Chain A
């Protein structure tokens, strides 16, 4: 199988270039990550992040034939004969397929990603009905892989100011939690033409999320809440 991989090592390369690998895969190589590990056994200089190899840790997000996804849950059988791999678009490249995620996490941190509740904690758990708990489904499962934010044109143009789909999904996760008491502050924090309203519902984020989440829907709900609060 043929792989064309964007390579860049600031230690020796002036700029990124593409390198071709023609590689004999073993029958046990089922996922794209297996193939990359196979390539790495031949050329140990190929750098990528990976850990869980089952799509739960969010390490190995990359651009696969033009679309962002996780290598470890991308089946080789579903790929064409030539596979072109690039690092996630829009973030600075550290090396090969590894990008600098500082900006991405900074946005995540900017939404106060923790439950805020100033009541003294009770002896037992805070009660929550199954219906209220169900509000968190489709939100808390995010693995912070950044596939969504790095496929969002609004994030490419304003990574420093637009929170991006992943961060906004997380923001809504806390707004939706009945145990959280800071809804107003959270809405204040997002009421900004950049932070929230840079989203123009282009829906790229929904298209690429490997966990099947829908940041766009969550963003819509935040906007709705803001309007409800304002009128």
Chain B
């Protein structure tokens, strides 16, 4: 090991966030599992599902909200996951920021689209 006479290396740290994301990642994961169980349960109970039953299911506001919750969880979970990957592999700040903004816009678009699907008219 050498003395600190090498190139000065000052990496500022201490962004003071992180635990919320970490917690959110766990909470969203739990929601995703829960919804999957309910959804698979629905199919298990009803065997093959007719279009009418399907429509009835998504006709209820409760189920629409549950589904939205699920999708939002997927997006938020994905956002944290992708951001982490970008942090690991894309080192130049500019490119990383651009990619992150891209992903974020895409996920926001997905969110709006989800609304329109769930509450749109058929």
Contact between A and B in the complex (any CB pair below 8 Å): yes
Grouping DSSP codes into helix (H, G, I), strand (E, B) and loop, the A interface class, with mixed when no group exceeds half, is loop
On whether the beta carbons of B16 and A161 are closer than 8 Å, the reply is no
Q: In this complex, what residue of A is CB-closest to B89? A: A157
User: Which stretch of B20-28, B31-39, B92-100 is in the interface?
Assistant: B20-28
A contact residues around B89 at 8 Å (CB): 157
Q: Nearest-CB distance from B39 to chain A (Å)?
A: 27
On whether the beta carbons of A230 and B18 are closer than 8 Å, the reply is no
Q: Which of A100, A160, A192, A227 contacts B16 (CB 8 A)?
A: A192
On whether the beta carbons of A191 and B14 are closer than 8 Å, the reply is yes
Q: Tell me, yes or no, whether A193 is within 8 Å of chain B by CB.
A: yes
Q: Tell me, yes or no, whether B15 is within 8 Å of chain A by CB.
A: yes
Grouping DSSP codes into helix (H, G, I), strand (E, B) and loop, the B interface class, with mixed when no group exceeds half, is loop
Q: In this complex, what residue of B is CB-closest to A100? A: B1
On whether the beta carbons of B20 and A157 are closer than 8 Å, the reply is no
On whether the beta carbons of B88 and A191 are closer than 8 Å, the reply is no
Mark out the residues of chain A between 189 and 220 whose CB falls within 8 Å of any chain B CB in the assembled complex: 189, 191-198, 200
Report Cα–Cα, A154/B74, bound state, in Å.
Answer: 24
Q: Nearest-CB distance from B27 to chain A (Å)?
A: 11
Q: Nearest-CB distance from B79 to chain A (Å)?
A: 13
On whether the beta carbons of A192 and B22 are closer than 8 Å, the reply is no
Q: Tell me, yes or no, whether B2 is within 8 Å of chain A by CB.
A: yes
B contact residues around A191 at 8 Å (CB): 14-19
A contact residues around B15 at 8 Å (CB): 191-194
Q: Nearest-CB distance from B84 to chain A (Å)?
A: 8
Report Cα–Cα, A197/B16, bound state, in Å.
Answer: 11
Q: Tell me, yes or no, whether B48 is within 8 Å of chain A by CB.
A: no
Q: Tell me, yes or no, whether A101 is within 8 Å of chain B by CB.
A: yes
Q: Nearest-CB distance from A15 to chain B (Å)?
A: 21
Interface size on A, as a range, is: 20 to 34
Report Cα–Cα, A1/B19, bound state, in Å.
Answer: 50
On whether the beta carbons of B11 and A160 are closer than 8 Å, the reply is yes
Q: Nearest-CB distance from A145 to chain B (Å)?
A: 14
Given A102-B1, A160-B9, A230-B19 in contact, is the A193-B14 Cβ separation under 8 Å? Answer: no
B contact residues around A157 at 8 Å (CB): 88-89
Residue among B14, B18, B84 with the highest chain A CB neighbour number at 10 A: B18
Top 5 closest A-B pairs, CB basis? A197-B18, A226-B19, A157-B88, A193-B18, A192-B15
Chain B residues near A (Cβ < 8 Å): 1-2, 6, 9, 11, 13-23, 84, 87-89
Given A154-B88, A188-B16, 8 further pairs, Cβ under 8 A? A188-B14, A191-B15, A192-B16, A193-B18, A194-B87, A197-B18, A230-B20, A230-B23
Question: Can you report 17 residue pairs joining A to B where beta carbons are below 8 Å apart?
Answer: A100-B1, A100-B2, A101-B1, A102-B6, A105-B1, A154-B88, A157-B88, A161-B11, A192-B13, A192-B15, A192-B17, A197-B19, A197-B22, A198-B84, A227-B19, A227-B22, A231-B23
